[in-house]
Amino acid sequence: MMNKLQIIGAFVIAFCSVSLLNAQDATITVKPSKDAPTISKHIYGHFAEHLGRSIYDGFFVGKDSPIPNTDGVRNDLIEALKEIKIPNLRWPGGCFADTYHWKDGIGPQEDRPTIVNTWWGGVTEDNSFGTHDFLNLCEVLETEPYLAGNVGSGTVKELADWVQYVNHDGTSPMADLRKQNGREKSWGVTYWGVGNEMWGCGGNMEPEFYANLYRQYATFMGSWNNEAGLYRIASGANSADYNWTEVLMKNIPKSLLDGVALHHYSVIDWNKKGPDVDFTEDHYFTTMKSSLFMDQLITKHVAIMDKYDKKKEVDLVVDEWGGWYEVQEGTNPGFLYQQNTMRDAMIAGTTLNIFNNHSDRVKMANLAQTVNVLQAVALTKGEQMILTPTYHILKMYTVHHDAQLIPLDLDTPDYEYNGDTLPAISASASKDAEGKTHISLVNIDAHKENTVSIDLSALNIKDFSAEILASDKLQDHNSFEDPEHIMPEGFKDFKFKKGVLEVTLPAFSVVVLEGK
């Protein structure tokens, strides 16, 4: 038998062993470089498709609505988007773009034809929200419009006329039509998508066919006195379709190409996407595996781009990303309405860190979507509007807009589940124009806190402040009954001594630190 000392000794050894097993330490070393790229603010872009309650009953409630609005767009949403410094907004789709004919949405409301949204719910729309409404909204938001052109069911002339209509200040048929419709000065739209998902809903095309079609459309898209010129974006690959990127980069002259798109959603299984709120850890782990796959996707697509564009003249534009689950119970399956939980905060934080760290090539991205659809930043219900955990991440990350990337070396522990592992810690850092350093950290582990040690000796930082987004359960979310259940808070669980910052991250949390 063991005596008391032996028993106590055995207990201490066992306790220490468990503590060591639970101790999760990550290390980060910053490697500032004068040659590091700028993190374009356009990485933090948004997407508003004619889908479900995104435009109608989301953005647009109508000028006669009792809900306070500016030309029909709800004021609370406008103010919320200004708070996150929305840099660009993509419209009108998505799949909807390749069935949308822009002339149906201009001129007197009573003369506009209706349209059946065959992609999303089969609803009939009255075209009350069109080109003028969207571009005027972008002016109110002080954001860059990103127009997705109709290549799937449109014509070269139709897209060329749209460019002329919104960009030409002189005398021409389309400029005159715009003036007749009440807008004297052009809007000067820079960003143009030449079709959307041409491998799928845009026409089920082969990449070689689309590359030739793109060349034709892009050739006839004159800038029409837009001082910045046009930034033309080719419809890019579906996730890991590397051949699509290869064909486009090989077959389209760089003189006609400014960006190549990429679409990737954090989804469990396209046939069984799992619930939006009542998900299990198995659902969560699989979703995060799909989300973190974005890093590999970008690395491989960029390697292909580098073969044909060593000077990095063509950008990678991830103009659709986000979490995709089964719709909320009781809602129209074609409306893609889902709640937004701490899982979505994890997706947002890790994905934006990935974009930041690839900012030498990723110059633009668009979260899908802004309001009431997929991973929305806002949800509306009549006069009520709530801001989601994803919204708060985007607001916390505004510090990275147009700041210089600080490259990092990251050594992270694993998040282990059911015999599989994922990197638990995600991070990115930048230095802004005022000389402030910002570090964004995400711990995706569903159970364990992690300590992160950051060697900042290469930077002259004297003090830090921080905020955190965290909650008790991964399934937690903001609701119309409890709209501020999840909110950013001040964070103090860190130490800074002799150039080393030590941060203790709670399970499934996001922390943004500011050093100066």
Q: Specify the 3-state DSSP secondary structure of 373.
A: coil
Contact between 355 and 364 (Cβ < 8 Å): no
d(CA 385, CA 67): 11
What pLDDT score does 228 carry? 76
Task: Tell me, rounded to whole angstroms, the distance of Cα 159 from its chain centroid.
Answer: 26
Other C-beta atoms within 10 Å of 480: how many? 12
d(CA 114, CA 104): 8
- For the chain, domains (ranges, CATH) are 24-35+406-515 (2.60.40.1180), 41-401 (3.20.20.80)
Long-range contacts of 119-125 (CB under 8 A, 24+ apart): 119/51, 119/93, 119/94, 119/95, 119/201, 119/334, 120/49, 120/50, 120/51, 120/52, 120/95, 120/96, 120/334, 120/335, 120/336, 121/52, 121/332, 121/333, 121/334, 121/335, 122/334, 125/50, 125/56
Please list the pLDDT of the chain residue by residue as tens digits (516 residues): 445 444 434 443 343 433 334 445 999 999 999 999 999 999 999 999 999 999 999 999 999 999 999 999 999 999 999 999 999 999 999 999 999 999 999 999 999 999 999 999 999 999 999 999 999 999 999 999 999 999 999 999 999 999 999 999 999 999 999 999 999 999 999 999 999 999 999 999 999 999 999 999 999 998 888 777 999 999 999 999 999 999 999 999 999 999 999 999 999 999 999 999 999 999 999 999 999 999 999 999 999 999 999 999 999 999 999 999 999 999 999 999 999 999 999 999 999 999 999 999 999 999 999 999 999 999 999 999 999 999 999 999 999 999 999 999 999 999 999 999 999 999 999 999 999 999 999 999 999 999 999 999 989 899 999 999 999 999 999 999 999 999 999 999 999 999 999 999 999 999 999 999
In the residue annotation, 144 being an active-site residue is answered as: no
Task: Tell me which of 142, 144, 197, 449 is the catalytic residue.
Answer: 197
The strand pair at 408-411 and 414-417 is best described as unpaired
d(CA 299, CA 278): 33
CA angle 17, 19, 20 (to 5 degrees): 65
Task: Tell me which of 79, 320, 434, 467 is the catalytic residue.
Answer: 320
Other C-beta atoms within 10 Å of 101: how many? 15
What pLDDT score does 14 carry? 41
d(CA 419, CA 402): 40
What pLDDT score does 21 carry? 40
Tokens describing residue 431: 């230095």
What pLDDT score does 366 carry? 98
Across-strand partners of 320? 263
Tokens describing residue 121: 């719910």
The helix or strand, by DSSP H or E, that contains position 74, with its residue range, turns out to be: strand 73-74
What pLDDT score does 19 carry? 37
In the residue annotation, 83 being an active-site residue is answered as: no
* Residue 180 backbone phi and psi in degrees, to 5: -60, -30
